């Protein structure tokens, strides 16, 4: 009797510290969905981030190579230089339907390079037909892309196209000048985007619309209002936004057509470049 292949969901957050999850001893935050995932699954307590920047860390996650080997050592180096298959490529070869929704960030967001232009905001601005493009890309055969986080995400990618069509006012609501709560630190404010149009909700809805693809990496989809935590007040805001992101993760998990922890299914949660090591559960 042939054994059914596992469905796999990888939830990847952006710059999330280990101590923003109550399962790791933070008494000031409630993250029941992540706590349940940690309790029912395996906690990798010696799993360490390989680089403090997005692109190098994500390249390591998808290729299994150290940054010194794959050569992407900062966010300005195109992933095309790696020349190695990704986990998506390998799973596709074994019959999986691979996909990604959210922030991938394997290539620069700035001026489009000869390859990897799919994540360039300038390229999207000059080529509106990109909204009809859905891969393949870096091993993913089905792609719904958010090109950046917070206010960077509103003018490019499939999420930007969604806002332009469904909620044009949202383009301004992620910005600091529209903040509900504004702190004095770099990229530290609570944005005014309604939950129903936030990219976390868009990502979950996208998974539901298309049904569950066998392997999905949701890159950066929990990066809410704060990019860098500096000082006590900022840390409080950072912790609060990661709490909100954790709540969204519960919705994503619930909308998958399999029961968490069931036989033959695998759910993993990790962060790309936390300030402290964040263990995958």
pLDDT 10s per residue in the chain (281 long)?
Answer: 345 667 777 888 887 778 888 888 888 888 888 888 888 888 888 888 888 888 899 999 899 999 999 999 988 888 888 888 998 888 888 888 888 888 888 888 876 666 678 888 888 988 999 999 999 998 888 899 888 777 778 888 999 999 999 999 998 988 888 888 887 776 677 888 888 898 888 877 765 555 444 333 333 333 333 333 323 333 343 344 444 455 556 655 655 544 544 445 677 777 787 654 444 43
Give dist(CA 11, CA 168) in Å, integer.
Answer: 28
Pairing state of beta strands 98-102 and 215-219? parallel
**Local structure of 5: helix, strand or coil:** coil
Hey, which residues are catalytic here? 54, 105
Give the CATH fold of the 7-271 domain: Alkaline Phosphatase, subunit A (3.40.720)
pLDDT at 246: 56
Give dist(CA 103, CA 16) in Å, integer.
Answer: 14
Exposure pattern of 69-90 as b/e (b: 16+ CB <10 Å)? ebbbeebebbbeebeeebbbbb
pLDDT at 130: 93
């Amino acid at each position: 009797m042939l054994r059914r292949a596992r469905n796999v969901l990888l939830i990847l957050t952006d710059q999330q510290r280990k101590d923003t999850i109550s399962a790791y001893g933070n008494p000031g935050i409630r993250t029941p969905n992540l706590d349940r995932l940690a309790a029912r699954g395996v906690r990798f307590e010696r799993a360490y981030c390989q680089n403090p920047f997005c692109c190098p860390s994500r390249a390591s996650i998808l290729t299994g190579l150290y940054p010194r080997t794959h050569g992407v050592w900062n966010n300005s180096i195109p992933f095309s230089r790696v020349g190695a298959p990704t986990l998506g490529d390998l799973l596709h070869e074994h019959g999986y339907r691979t996909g990604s929704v959210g922030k991938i960030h394997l290539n620069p967001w700035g001026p489009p390079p000869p390859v990897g232009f799919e994540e360039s905001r300038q390229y999207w601005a000059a080529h509106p037909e990109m909204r009809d493009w859905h891969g393949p890309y870096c091993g993913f055969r089905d792609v719904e892309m958010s090109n950046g986080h917070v206010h960077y995400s509103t003018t490019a990618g499939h999420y930007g196209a969604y806002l332009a069509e469904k909620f044009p006012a949202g383009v301004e609501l992620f910005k600091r000048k529209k903040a509900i709560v504004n702190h004095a630190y770099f990229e530290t404010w609570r944005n005014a985007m309604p939950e129903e149009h936030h990219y976390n909700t868009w990502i979950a809805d996208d998974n539901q619309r298309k049904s569950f693809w066998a392997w999905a990496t949701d890159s950066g989809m929990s990066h809410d209002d704060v990019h860098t935590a500096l000082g006590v007040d900022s840390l409080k805001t950072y912790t609060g936004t990661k709490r909100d992101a954790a709540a969204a993760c519960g919705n994503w998990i619930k909308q998958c057509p399999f029961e968490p922890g069931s036989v033959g299914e695998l759910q993993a949660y990790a962060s790309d470049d936390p300030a402290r090591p964040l263990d995958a559960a």
